[in-house]
């Protein structure tokens, strides 16, 4: 049994923080090299996601997928029944990955260009790239792993801080939960 992704991320961050203390960022060539590493890392991630999108569209799996989405944290809404296809679900997940990458690049851009922070460039060249290859979509569509067990759709919400903030509510796929949500009136939302 290996270490969880959160633990390995923490180890990488702590290690890279020590390494970044020894890097002379005031040297323009070194700084440009680290900037280049960050850009290449993000281009690789974008390329992997684009290839994954091509694979999703090539497979065009129209298998019906039904599940119950938990109500948003802190709301009084009922859980919502969702009927979609594997193709639409994967595309929705991929859009989330692209959006997350763009937000990370935007935040890094502000931190580096506006606030002049250079150390995070090094860490952000590694952690997002590692995270991209740990994602379920990449495991299925790029690495060719079967969609069974942990990779069976719909996927559990990501762990860590955001998962804990969601209050531990998870997506339900059992027939009883789906029927109850459909009868509750918020159901039957068909996503295409």
For tokens 């959160």, what's the residue? 6
Report the alpha-carbon distance of residue 154 to residue 139 in Å, rounded: 14
pLDDT top residue among 179 and 35: 35
Q: Summarize pLDDT for 95-136 with one digit per residue, the tens.
A: 999 999 999 999 999 999 999 888 888 899 999 999 999 999
For tokens 């068909």, what's the residue? 190
Q: Summarize pLDDT for 129-183 with one digit per residue, the tens.
A: 999 999 999 999 999 999 999 999 998 876 544 444 444 457 777 766 677 767 7
Going by the DSSP 8-state scheme, the letter that residue 153 receives in this structure is: S
What pLDDT is attached to residue 49? 97
Q: Which two tokens stand for residue 91?
A: 């595309």
Count of beta carbons in the 10 Å neighbourhood of residue 167: 12
Report the alpha-carbon distance of residue 175 to residue 187 in Å, rounded: 13
Please indicate, yes or no, whether the overall pTM of this predicted structure exceeds 0.75: yes
Q: Which two tokens stand for residue 133?
A: 């290859």
């Amino acid at each position: 049994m290996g270490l969880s992704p959160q633990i390995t991320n923490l180890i990488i961050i702590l290690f890279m923080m020590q390494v970044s203390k020894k890097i002379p960022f005031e040297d323009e060539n070194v700084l440009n090299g680290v900037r280049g590493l960050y850009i290449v890392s993000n281009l690789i991630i974008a390329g992997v996601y684009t290839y994954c999108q091509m694979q999703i569209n090539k497979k065009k799996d129209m298998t019906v997928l039904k599940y119950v989405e938990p109500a948003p944290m802190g709301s009084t809404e009922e859980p919502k029944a969702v009927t979609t296809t594997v193709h639409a679900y994967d595309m929705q997940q991929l859009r989330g990955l692209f959006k997350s990458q763009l937000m990370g690049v935007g935040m890094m851009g502000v931190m580096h260009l506006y606030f002049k922070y250079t150390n995070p460039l090094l860490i952000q060249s590694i952690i997002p790239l590692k995270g991209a290859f740990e994602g379920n979509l990449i495991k299925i569509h790029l690495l060719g792993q079967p969609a069974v067990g942990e990779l069976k759709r719909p996927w559990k919400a990501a762990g860590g801080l955001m998962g804990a903030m969601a209050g531990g509510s998870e997506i339900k796929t059992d027939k009883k939960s789906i029927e109850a949500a459909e009868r509750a009136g918020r159901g039957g939302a068909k996503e295409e």
